[in-house]
Structure formats: C-alpha cells, structure tokens
C-alpha cells in the first residue's frame, strides 16, 4: 500500500491535514535563487574545467548542498571549525578534480553520489595532508557557512541520527526549504505574501492544530477559499519538489520514489 503524506496524498480528494514539521520554514532562507538550479547537467558542467559557466555552476552546487555535507562531517566527530574547512575543501577538490566527470547521470542519484564521495574523502588520508591548502589550480570557494552550527544544533535536538540518515534528512530539508523560499517569492511578487505566510505553516512547518476556520478568520477569508488556498500551495510545493528532485536523478521514473524516501527521512 502506498503511504500517504500531506504533500503527496494518494488522492486529490483526501481531506486536508495539518502537518507539523520539525523545523520552521524560515530557518534556511534560500541563498541560491540567483543561480541555476543544480541538476546533472549543471553539475557535470561544473566539473568540466573548459566550460565558461563552470564557476557559476560550482557556486550553485555549493550554495544548494553545502549543509548536508557539513552536517554529515559534524556527525562523523569533527569539530565545528574542522567541518567548515572540510566542507569547503571537499567541494573545491571534488569539482577541481575529475570526480564529477565520472559522475555521469547513469551512475544514479546525485544525492547518493555526493554522500559516497564525502565518505571517501573523510576516510582518505590524502585530505589530512592538504586541508586548508589552496592553490595548485584548486578554486578558492566563497562559501557562506553562517548559521551552520546553529542549524546543526537544531538538528541534534531532534535525535542523534546515524550520519547517513542525518544526511538524507538534511538533504530533504534543504530541498523543501528551497522550494518554499521560491514559492514565497512567487506569492510576494503577485501581492499574496500575507496569504503565503498564513497558509505555508499548514502545508509544511509549525502549523497549529486549530480549525481552518480560525486561520481563515485571521486573514479575513472565507473558510472555503482558505481551504482552496491550502490545497493550491500544497500542489505548488509538490510540483516544485518534483522539479528539483527530477534534476538529481538519472531516471525520471525514480522521482516519486526519491521524494517519498526523502519525505520519510523528515517524518
């Protein structure tokens, strides 16, 4: 039997539910909106040193996926400062070498490739001799790790997960928060910013179990119209997540499975 989820219900007629996520939707403001969404073609372009847009793709990759890497390294016993250095060093060296050239789409999901790569990086003595060294053709990354330790501490408050499971959870939250940030901007540009802030916590976030009628009254909407607004945002969030995940898997048929796996990791 397929497991139902508020964002990915098994039926369009399924009653609306209030899903209380373990994080507030504002805890990870998107810093990658000005860059191309990271997907296999952009990732491979970042690894191809002869591509003029390689640097931009590199920055996009780092902005979108640095926190799951940082969190994983911290859970492997590294200190905050070590994790910062290793995160930057890992991403720089991963892209400067030919690792991503070998990461062709046929190798599967980008998420699993990156996790395997950082595992190898941490178990390889090579990085111990070169961490914090810059040069020799390796690009220096301007990676903003502000808030990394605060977010990591918040993750720990939800349980001491195994590093692999924590990586999947961090990855899922990054995707969800990026999608919500894009939708927030979309609603604001169309003059519906207040509606988004009222509806979003009921779709994903710290929504209260109060009746929909109470939430509707707060923004002076009829309950029926508010219910439709919740349904529409849930649908838009589902579409954004599907689009983002589709760009990180080699087989489009894997999209739904990948999404459900990631959603389950957050539950």
pLDDT per residue as tens digits for the range 40-83:
555 555 555 455 555 566 567 677 888 999 999 999 889 998 89
Residue 232 reports pLDDT greater than 70: yes
* CA distances from residue 182 to 2, 39, 145, 196 in whole angstroms, order as listed: 29, 17, 21, 11
pLDDT per residue as tens digits for the range 7-27:
544 333 333 333 333 344 344
For range 100-110, the mean pLDDT: 62
Which residue has better confidence, 168 or 147? 168
pLDDT per residue as tens digits for the range 114-148:
898 899 888 875 556 555 454 455 555 566 677 78
């Amino acid at each position: 039997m397929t497991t139902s989820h508020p964002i990915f219900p098994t039926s369009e007629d399924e009653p609306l539910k209030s899903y209380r996520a373990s994080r507030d939707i504002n805890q990870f403001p998107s810093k990658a909106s000005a860059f191309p969404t990271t997907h296999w073609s952009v990732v491979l372009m970042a690894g191809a040193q002869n591509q003029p847009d390689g640097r931009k793709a590199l920055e996009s990759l780092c902005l979108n996926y640095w926190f799951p890497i940082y969190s994983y390294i911290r859970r492997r016993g590294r200190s905050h400062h070590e994790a910062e250095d290793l995160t930057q060093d890992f991403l720089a060296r991963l892209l400067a070498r030919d690792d991503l050239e070998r990461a062709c789409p046929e190798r599967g999901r980008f998420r699993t490739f990156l996790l395997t790569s950082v595992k190898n990086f941490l178990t390889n003595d090579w990085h111990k001799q070169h961490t914090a060294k810059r040069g020799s053709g390796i690009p220096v990354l301007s990676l903003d790790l502000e808030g990394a330790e605060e977010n990591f501490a918040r993750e720990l408050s939800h349980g001491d997960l195994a590093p692999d499971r924590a990586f999947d959870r961090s990855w899922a939250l990054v995707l969800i928060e990026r999608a919500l940030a894009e939708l927030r901007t979309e609603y604001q540009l169309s003059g519906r910013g207040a509606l988004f802030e009222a509806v979003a916590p009921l779709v994903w976030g710290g929504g209260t179990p109060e009746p929909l009628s109470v939430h509707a009254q707060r923004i002076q909407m009829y309950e029926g119209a508010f219910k439709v607004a919740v349904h529409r945002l849930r649908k838009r969030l589902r579409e954004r997540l599907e689009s983002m995940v589709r760009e990180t898997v080699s087989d489009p048929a894997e999209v739904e499975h990948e999404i459900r796996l990631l959603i389950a990791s957050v539950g």
